[in-house]
Structure 1
Amino acid sequence: MAVNNKGLEEWWPWYERILRAFNYDREEDQRAAHILNELLGPKALVREAAERIIRKRQILVFGAGPSLEEDLKKIEEDDIWRHFVIVTADGATSALLEIIGRIPDIVVTDLDGDMEDIISSERRGSLIVVHAHGDNIPSLRQYVPMFSEAMGTTQARPIGRIYNFGGFTDGDRAVFLSAALGAQMVVLAGMDFGVEIGRYSKKVSKSVEAKRLKLWFGKRLLEWLSSKTPIKFFNFTSGGIEIEGFKRIDSLSFLR
């Protein structure tokens, strides 16, 4: 799903459900998009910047679930990094840096992960995709000026160079981004979507139940996406629950 009339028409029913489920303020989401657009200004990357990295490539998306550390170690043993573009969802960035010392190609974040690690990754070459929503306006104002450049996204109506590729949590939004920009294949790792919250996930949460509901939406959105696109989807996550449309695999050695 990409930013066009058809894609947005399909997205709005999901967005309405999310607004109702979490009692989010639509106007605040839209205001956040305007603020991000202003903060980025000439530093805003156009979609082609990420598309050049993603198009026709195999994408490995790391979520911050409980399986993340085990999945990273298994992938390191298989030594298949050169076959993938690496995309991390927020807190998963810290795990890559700490456990295996790798910098992701793309970081998808709403700025509630370890910002020192995310800023460090950007300075070392990662493309940052910053998501704006009504609850992170203070973080937008604090951290966006620290990036040399970034791509902006919203779950509300796109404005200026702020895009809506679909998706809700950082993890599923990374998959939507990859699909919209022409990925050949997407493999998930550290994407459990279960009741347990990973240690690299958001440090402070108002409610564990709210976090679990977000993960429920993320899973459902991925299942919906898999039915809308011919892209090959795989799930390398060691634990967690099944995601319809994502074939479970326990090795990536077939890509050698």
Structure 2
Amino acid sequence: MMILGWKKRYSEILKEFNYDEKKDRESALLLDAILEKSDVDTKIINLVKGKTVLVIGSGPSLQKAIPKLKNHKKVVKIAADSSVKVLVENEIIPDIVVTDLDGDEIILKKIAKTKTIFVVHAHGDNIEKIEFAKQFKNCIGTTQSIPFNKIQNFGGFTDGDRGVFLANYFGAKKIILVGMDFGKRIGKFSKTKKIDRKIKLQKLKRGELLLEWLSTITKSELFTTSKAIKGFKKISYKDLDIIIT
């Protein structure tokens, strides 16, 4: 099952970034072969449905958000894998990590021993990394192409916006973005090299457009503590305390 309208967005992504759909499929097939059937979907439903969920990225505003995140340890947290290292270093363990396996492997292995759920995304550029998914006990697989067997498609493009689409799919009541700055600055926690900066910004822009689209069809209430995004209510950290409680 795919979110209605995703096929069109996926076609646009393939064209814009010159991606190969066959490679996306190949990566997804490898991931499907690795994953075992599980009840992880049920665990995500129990965590997310009807709840307030924080979706955490590694943008420039993340550093300022850390103290607030530490004050709300019981709130469900979905983290893009580039934000995981700084979260763990501050004793914040995400409930769900959305990853295409390009994050800090040592940190990912470390929290694989916790109750953290991993949502591993397969695409044409990470075929050689898919085997790493064997490290994760609580794990589901996703694709940006056609879902099949154990591989699902909730929508989204980058780890951060896929986290938002995930929260939407599993029925979060409120979704609040933290450290997700879709601007022209790349956060210091991102491992982006200077030569990759242009494509990274292009991906962030595409992610932002997808979230704007999602805001027109979701039933979840949408907020952001980061850069203003069309369809998301911009809030302060003081507002965050009120919304969560």
- Alignment TM-score, normalising by the size of structure 1: 0.90
Q: 1:181 to 1:22 in 2, by over 3 A?
A: same
Q: Aligned pair 1:80/2:68, yes or no?
A: no
1:37 match: 32
Aligned equivalents of 2:134, 2:18: Cα separation in 1: 29
Aligned equivalents of 1:196, 1:130: Cα separation in 2: 26
1:253 match: 241
1:66 match: 60
Correspondent of 1:226 among 205, 215, 219 = 215
1:208 match: 197
Correspondent of 1:26 among 17, 21, 29 = 21
Aligned pairs for 1:138-177 within 5 A: 138-141=128-131, 143-177=132-166
User: Percent identity at matched positions?
Assistant: 40
**What CA deviation, in whole Å up to 9, does each residue of 1:16-75 have, x standing for no partner?**
111011100000001111110001134x55522311211111100100111111111244
Q: 1:205 to 1:112 in 2, by over 3 A?
A: farther
1:133 match: 123
Preserved contact between residue 222 and residue 233 of structure 2 (Cα < 8 Å): yes
User: 2:191 is aligned with what amino acid?
Assistant: K
Aligned equivalents of 1:200, 1:159: Cα separation in 2: 33
Aligned equivalents of 1:206, 1:227: Cα separation in 2: 35
Local SS of the residue matching 1:41:
coil
Aligned equivalents of 1:110, 1:116: Cα separation in 2: 15
Using the TM superposition, give the Cα deviation of residue 207 of structure 1 relative to its aligned residue in structure 2, in angstroms: 2.0
Preserved contact between residue 182 and residue 204 of structure 2 (Cα < 8 Å): yes
2:5 match: 10
- Alignment TM-score, normalising by the size of structure 2: 0.94
Local SS of the residue matching 2:176:
strand
1:243 match: 229
Preserved contact between residue 93 and residue 117 of structure 1 (Cα < 8 Å): yes
Aligned equivalents of 2:27, 2:187: Cα separation in 1: 27
Aligned equivalents of 2:172, 2:241: Cα separation in 1: 20
Using the TM superposition, give the Cα deviation of residue 216 of structure 1 relative to its aligned residue in structure 2, in angstroms: 0.3
**RMSD after superposition:** 1.5
**What CA deviation, in whole Å up to 9, does each residue of 1:46-105 have, x standing for no partner?**
5223112111111001001111111112443xx2332x201100111111111x211110
Preserved contact between residue 50 and residue 172 of structure 2 (Cα < 8 Å): yes
User: 2:72 is aligned with what amino acid?
Assistant: I
Local SS of the residue matching 2:133:
helix
Using the TM superposition, give the Cα deviation of residue 119 of structure 1 relative to its aligned residue in structure 2, in angstroms: 1.9
Aligned equivalents of 1:226, 1:106: Cα separation in 2: 22
Aligned equivalents of 1:181, 1:205: Cα separation in 2: 36
Using the TM superposition, give the Cα deviation of residue 203 of structure 1 relative to its aligned residue in structure 2, in angstroms: 4.4
Aligned equivalents of 1:195, 1:75: Cα separation in 2: 24
Preserved contact between residue 76 and residue 95 of structure 2 (Cα < 8 Å): yes
2:84 match: 93
> Number of residue pairs matched?
242
Q: 1:144 to 1:80 in 2, by over 3 A?
A: closer
User: 2:171 is aligned with what amino acid?
Assistant: G
Unaligned runs of 5+ residues in structure 2 are: none
Local SS of the residue matching 1:213:
helix
Unaligned runs of 5+ residues in structure 1 are: none
Local SS of the residue matching 1:123:
coil
Preserved contact between residue 40 and residue 117 of structure 2 (Cα < 8 Å): no
Local SS of the residue matching 2:36:
helix
